Amino acid sequence: MSFKAKMQDSSKSKGSNIVLALDFPFEAPENRNKVLAKALSVLKAVHPYICAVKINHHLVLPLGTFDGVQQLVEQIRGQGLLAIMDAKINDIGSTNQVIADYYYAAGFDALIANPFVGWEEGLKPLFEASKKLNRGVILLCYMSHKGACEGYGQTVFDLETGEKTLQYIVFAKKALKWGADGVVVGATYPQKIAEIKKILGEKVPIYSPGIGVQGGAAEWALEAGANYLIVGREITLAEDPAQAARKLLASLKCT
């Protein structure tokens, strides 16, 4: 079963399209066990209200891929959820493949990559490695921060069409061409979600980060065409993470 199909099944069985971004503020290295305990505690509390978990370098750096992070991935999958590694892969092909091999060996179901690196000797080996294992590749299309326009929003000369176009439009088309399992489009830019949705249709799902703390609104992202909502600090830094996740899910079911 493909990662895209697994996500659909997870979302349906959990009754949720929320992907938890398991991010926490910096802690001194000697407090790494505290970070792991906090991550496990949040997972235990919120797993009934989410369909997947996204892990960033926030946890890989202090905990280690085959130490604390692998323990978290086992916990995630044991709760019937999917684990996404937000590696933002963006290197030469041989390096990208090795990165993928390590993260997949740690149990991740999908990786996030940056299409700026291109296909040949870029992301092609990553896609090939992923398909062999029935794992997923999600491409960045338009990030959620204010400076995203400087890269993803720039006007470029499209080598394939010979026309000037916007970078994120090119990336959306590449997601279709390359067979990506999803794209990331910030919930802080619902108009961009709508534009990209017109290109992707239902073939490539949209994952939208930036809900809450960054100013993105879940209802606007969904209305514009997002399939999954990536939510981090709104839940992880809440006094009661379970209540925050439950409240968000309840609000989505009312829209």
Task: Identify the active-site residue in 6, 44, 88, 203.
Answer: 88
Query: Cα dist. 146→35, 75, 150, 179 in Å?
Result: 28, 34, 9, 28
- The one-letter amino acid at 50: I
- The one-letter amino acid at 26: F
Strand (E) or helix (H) holding 40: helix 32-46
- Name the phi and psi angles at 228, rounded to 5: -130, 145
User: Strand locations in the chain, DSSP E?
Assistant: 18-21, 52-55, 82-89, 110-113, 136-142, 155-157, 164-166, 182-185, 206-208, 228-231
- Name the phi and psi angles at 83, rounded to 5: -110, 125
* Residue 88 annotated in active site: yes
Bridge-based pairing of strands 164-166 and 52-55 is: unpaired
- What sign does the dihedral 81-87-89-93 (CA atoms) show? negative
Active site residue ranges? 88
